[in-house]
A and B are shown apart, each in its own frame.
Chain A
Amino acid sequence: EADIYQTPRYLVIGTGKKITLECSQTMGHDKMYWYQQDPGMELHLIHYSYGVNSTEKGDLSSESTVSRIRTEHFPLTLESARPSHTSQYLCASSEGGWGNQPQHFGDGTRLSIL
């Protein structure tokens, strides 16, 4: 099982703050992903990365940005949080070919913007 860690698990913060959600994996996976999921709703891919210095936007438009400076680390940043950003953010990673390997998820960050 992949070891993938997200911090913080829960974050409640005021509007306008800059937020960085951390995601790290220790499996050496090249591919990493960020999903957004509201309660009882579908997962939506918001960012992904093929490897170091590679970042792409996903299916769902997001005001967040990501970076991939190291293989194991894929942080997501919101420059100015708004209530509409309230959601659960899930990070995942996979090895090998994009479509042929399953993704392993972190525990998620539950974000609430007041």
Chain B
Amino acid sequence: RKEVEQDPGPFNVPEGATVAFNCTYSNSASQSFFWYRQDCRKEPKLLMSVYSSGNEDGRFTAQLNRASQYISLLIRDSKLSDSATYLCVVNIGAAGNKLTFGGGTRVLVKP
């Protein structure tokens, strides 16, 4: 089993719709969680950190479920420019000494 798993998608989303997807992690001692966005043939860019109480940044909402060991990302009012691969990033290990990237979830927003 991979340490960080994501549904690769693609999620085909009509413009203006809401899309949500999860990322599961295997190590219950993980402390830090992030969502990155990666456009085709570009470098990953930090989208948002994920806090224990959940957090929102504009149209993006991130949630953490420690009991079930997953984080989620919800995108409201999807824009064409939201089309990208969304990478889940988790620190693995009690000492917080390693960041592991998931394989990414591809989102395609269509008019």
Chain A interface residues (CB < 8 Å from chain B):
39, 41-43, 88, 90, 97-108, 110
Contacts and interface: CB of A to CB of B under 8 A. Distances in A.
Contacts, number: 50
Contacts of A107: 42-43
B87 interface: yes
A99 B93 contact: yes
Contact of A99 (B95, B102, B104): B95
Contacts of B44: 43, 90, 105
A90 B43 contact: yes
Nearest to A104: B46
Given A39-B41, A90-B44, A100 B104 contact: no
Interface string B13-37: 0000000000000000001101000
B107 to A, nearest CB: 14
Contacts of A43: 44, 87, 101
Contacts of B59: none
B87 A99 contact: no
A99 B43 contact: no
A102 B46 contact: yes
Nearest to A98: B97
A50 to B, nearest CB: 9
B45 A105 contact: yes
B43 A102 contact: no
Nearest to A91: B43
Contacts of B102: 42
B99 A98 contact: yes
Contacts of A100: 31-32, 91, 96
B49 to A, nearest CB: 7
Contacts of B41: 39, 88, 110
A78 B31 CA distance: 35
Interface string B76-111: 000000000001010111011111011110000000
Nearest to A94: B99
Given A99-B92, A102-B46, 11 more contacts: A42-B103, A43-B44, A99-B97, A99-B98, A100-B96, A101-B32, A102-B34, A102-B89, A105-B43, A105-B45, A106-B43
